[in-house]
Amino acid sequence: MSEQYSSRERMTILGDVEAASFLLWIERYAAKLGLAQAICVAGRDRIELDIAGPAELIDMMEMGCSLGPIDVWVEAIRRAPLESESG
């Protein structure tokens, strides 16, 4: 994610997110929205990903993940801005 994007965030998805299909679903949904994403942590009860793109599309990504595929249960999504890597 080295390109310039209007927003860069760490999105943490909490709940019963263990289904293997969810990671692929996240990647496909982000691609449909034109967002850059990188999975940082993938566990039974938590997925963390760095995501970049227009703020409105990141909002759409959050909404999509909260509804998610039928084989996961998302309890909460936390978002935090990522610091700029230029310095």
Domain membership flag for residue 14: yes
Residue 36 belongs to some domain of the structure: yes
In a domain, 86, yes or no: no
Domain containing residue 35: CATH number: 3.30.70.100
Helix H, strand E, coil C: the string for the chain is CCCCCCEEEEEEEEEECCCHHHHHHHHHHHHHHCCEEEEEEECCCEEEEEEEECHHHHHHHHHHHHHCCCCCEEEEEEEEECCCCCC
pLDDT in 10s for each residue of the chain, 87 residues: 545 568 999 999 999 998 888 999 999 999 999 999 999 999 999 999 999 999 999 999 999 999 988 899 999 999 999 986 544
Residue 31 lies in a domain: yes
Residue 87 within any structural domain of the chain:
no
Instruction: Examine residue 45 and state whether it is found in any structural domain, yes or no.
Output: yes
Q: Supply φ then ψ for residue 69, to 5 degrees.
A: -70, 165
Overall pTM > 0.85:
yes
Structural domain range at position 24: 7-81
Q: Which two tokens stand for residue 73?
A: 């249960």
